[in-house]
Amino acid sequence: MKKILPLFILTILLINPVAAFAKGPYSLITVSGPGIAGEINMEDPALLEFFAFANFLKPVDAPADPGKGYEITRSWVDASTKAIQSFDQLHYYPDTGYVYYDGLLGDAYSEYDEKWYLADVKIKTVFLDQIALVNISPEGDFAYVTVKGQGLAMELTLTNEVFVKEYFAFANFDENKIDPPADYDKDFGFEITRYRIVDGKAKAFDNLYYYPDQGYIYYEAAQVELPYLEQWYTANPQIEAPFRAALAERAKISWIPTVLFLVFVVVFIYFYFRARPKQGAPR
């Protein structure tokens, strides 16, 4: 039979007072869910307080559809044995702002178990940033990028290191976020899709729009949950010159078949009329 622990927060403090007062009662949280292969550990201090995800003193009615959720197990590291001791579990739904507290693990339970709560709004950015870091580091490079848009008759593929070497090649999504610009022209932008090799096959990772004339980037979508999506950024200035050079090279190459075709037409017309009998000539 489970033991009721109405004062289990106090119990945590008694078990591990140093950790509790330094960064909260937990040493780490283990997370699984959308955009995570397997599970990951997070140790950001903002995520380690008991009430970091929600105020468990204020339960709410269950939502009709909480959306995509993450399973979170909260643990601390035993100071003497260095063993990880899991303490409780919850589910966090960042899109809708709900938390379901599954409850204490083992043979204990609390009055907060199996109830719904409103998530602390401050935790969403911190939490999703941690997932983003896992997904883009250390393997943040890409196999190639494709470009289509203004003045391009065909899709352009870029493999130059400057475009594929790192996740922040086109913009620093951590530092250069801006309000939606009023002066961008959607007809003078380029759609960029970045690809990674997954299980031996090229797979699109994300989509962004680049407006080199104004120096803007719009991060439209990605295959994983990222805190940068559907937002505007200033483009890295060093990307413009190689990008325009790549477009100019493609434009030069694209003229070659056109020129060859025109030469062929001119030669054909020349020989056609040269070989054609002149009207009125004696037979």
Q: Residues 9, 130: one domain?
A: yes
| pLDDT value, residue 17 | 36
DSSP state of 21: H
Q: Residues 124, 148: one domain?
A: no
Q: Residues 245, 170: one domain?
A: yes
Which one of 101, 136, 171 terminates a domain? Answer: 136
69 within some domain? yes
191 within some domain? yes
d(CA 30, CA 130): 12
Q: Residues 153, 171: one domain?
A: yes
Band of residue 156 on the pLDDT scale cut at 50, 70, 90: confident
Which one of 90, 110, 136 terminates a domain? Answer: 136
Residues 171, 221, 152, 177, CA torsion sign: negative
**Which domain does 176 fall in, by range?**
144-258
- Write out pLDDT tens, residues 235-256: 999 999 999 888 887 665 444 4
Round to the nearest angstrom and report the end-to-end CA distance of the chain. 118
**Omega before 237 cis (within 30°)?**
no
Q: Residues 18, 106: one domain?
A: yes
| pLDDT value, residue 94 | 93
Q: Residues 127, 164: one domain?
A: no
73 within some domain? yes
pLDDT of residue 22 exceeding 50, the answer is no
281 within some domain? no
Q: Residues 85, 46: one domain?
A: yes
The alpha carbon of residue 19 and the mean position of all alpha carbons in its chain are separated, in whole angstroms, by: 32
Q: Residues 109, 149: one domain?
A: no
Q: What is residue 100's three-state secondary structure? A: strand
Whose structure tokens read 């040269």? Answer: 274
Q: Residues 72, 191: one domain?
A: no
124 within some domain? yes
Both structure tokens of 26:
């937990």
Our CA angle for 233, 236, 238, nearest 5°, is 165
Q: Residues 171, 254: one domain?
A: yes
Band of residue 280 on the pLDDT scale cut at 50, 70, 90: low
Which one of 85, 111, 136 terminates a domain? Answer: 136
Q: Residues 125, 18: one domain?
A: yes
277 within some domain? no
pLDDT of residue 14 exceeding 70, the answer is no
- C-beta of residue 220 within 8 angstroms of C-beta of residue 208: yes
92 within some domain? yes
d(CA 154, CA 143): 20
- C-beta of residue 228 within 8 angstroms of C-beta of residue 133: no
Our CA angle for 172, 151, 158, nearest 5°, is 50
Q: Residues 116, 86: one domain?
A: yes
| pLDDT value, residue 275 | 66
| pLDDT value, residue 274 | 66
Per the model's pLDDT, the better-predicted residue between 265 and 157 turns out to be: 157
Both structure tokens of 257:
């078949």
87 within some domain? yes
What mean pLDDT comes out for the span 217-222?
92
What mean pLDDT comes out for the span 111-120?
95
- Write out pLDDT tens, residues 45-63: 999 999 999 999 999 999 9
Which CATH number do you get for residue 233?
2.60.40
What mean pLDDT comes out for the span 68-75?
95
d(CA 262, CA 191): 31
Band of residue 134 on the pLDDT scale cut at 50, 70, 90: low
Q: How many CB atoms lie within 10 A of CB 281?
A: 6
Question: How many domains in the chain?
Answer: 2
- Write out pLDDT tens, residues 168-200: 999 999 889 999 998 877 778 899 999 887 667
d(CA 217, CA 235): 5
pLDDT of residue 24 exceeding 70, the answer is no
Four-CA torsion 250, 256, 261, 263, nearest 10 degrees: 150
Q: What is residue 123's three-state secondary structure? A: helix
| pLDDT value, residue 140 | 54
